Amino acid sequence: MPSLKRLTKKITSLTGNKKSTIAKASDIAIGIKSQEACPLDLAPTSSTTAALAFGDALAIALLESKGFTKKDFASSHPAGKLGKKLITQVKHLMHAGDDIPKVSINTLLSDALIEITDKSLGITLVKDRSKVVGIFTDGDLRRCLNQKIDINTTLIKEVMTKKFITIGDEALAIDAADIMEKNKIFTLVVMKKDKNVGVISMHDLIQARIL
């Protein structure tokens, strides 16, 4: 206690006995009296639970009074799983540039499948010049096969999905995961100011330990 007194102006203690040496030496002495669950009243049981509950309540009270935010938490725990969820953005994990699978609207379905296979994302974007006008996924392929569509004569624009879900590049990666789970999809088209900048998949989120 004398050593602690040299390091700080005030000492606050939490004890089960306000008449204890530690309590008496403290500037603020908080007492939590509890009867132990141990039938011999020896092993610390109820008292440790009470101390834990009080510590949690104190931490939350301080968090609220100081205006502690998610960003503050992330800055304190940047490498942990919780920290990653709070600071990792879609743009940090997405596939960009030449890694984005893409074909033009007049590409044959058979050639589009080669692009999907080469980029290994289970999807290809369909572009009309520089604008993304549709996507084609593994699910779309299964539907085409069920309908016995000829992949060697069909253009991708005839079977692509025109309405698709997108996400902004500065959105949190955990938000991308929520969107995928709610819509039962495995990839998202990433946009920045109405321009396609990437693709992110569920596998990317798992690999980055966001999930």
Domain that holds residue 34: 2-77
Residue 78: per-residue pLDDT: 65
Could you tell me the two tokens for 194? 């109405």
So what's the pLDDT on residue 114? 96
- Using alpha carbons only, give the angle 80, 86, 91 rounded to the nearest 5 degrees: 105
For residue 79, what pLDDT is reported?
A: 65
The CATH number covering residue 130 comes to 3.10.580.10
Same domain, 100 and 187: yes
Domain presence at residue 84: no
180 shares a domain with 97: yes
For the chain (211 residues), the mean pLDDT of every run of 10, in chain order, is 86 91 92 87 89 94 90 73 83 96 97 96 94 95 94 96 96 95 95 94 92 83
Helices 109-119 and 138-146, axial angle in degrees (round to 10):
140
The pLDDT of residue 21 is: 92
Same domain? 12 vs 45: yes
Q: Are residues 46 and 97 in the same domain?
A: no
Check whether residue 37 and residue 62 sit in a common domain.
yes
pLDDT at 209: 86
Token pair, residue 84, equals 């990653």
Q: Do residues 147 and 48 both lie within one domain?
A: no
Q: What is the pLDDT of residue 72?
A: 80
Q: What is the 3-state secondary structure (H, E, C) of 168-208?
A: ECCCEHHHHHHHHHHHCCCEEEEEECCEEEEEEEHHHHHHC
Query: What is the Cα Rg of the chain in Å?
Result: 29
**116 and 65 belong to one structural domain:** no
* 106 in the same domain as 164: yes
Compute the distance between CA of residue 38 and CA of residue 29 in angstroms, rounded to an integer.
Answer: 25
Q: What is the pLDDT of residue 1?
A: 83
Q: Number of folded domains in the chain?
A: 2
Q: Are residues 95 and 73 in the same domain?
A: no
CATH code of the domain covering residue 15: 3.40.50.10490
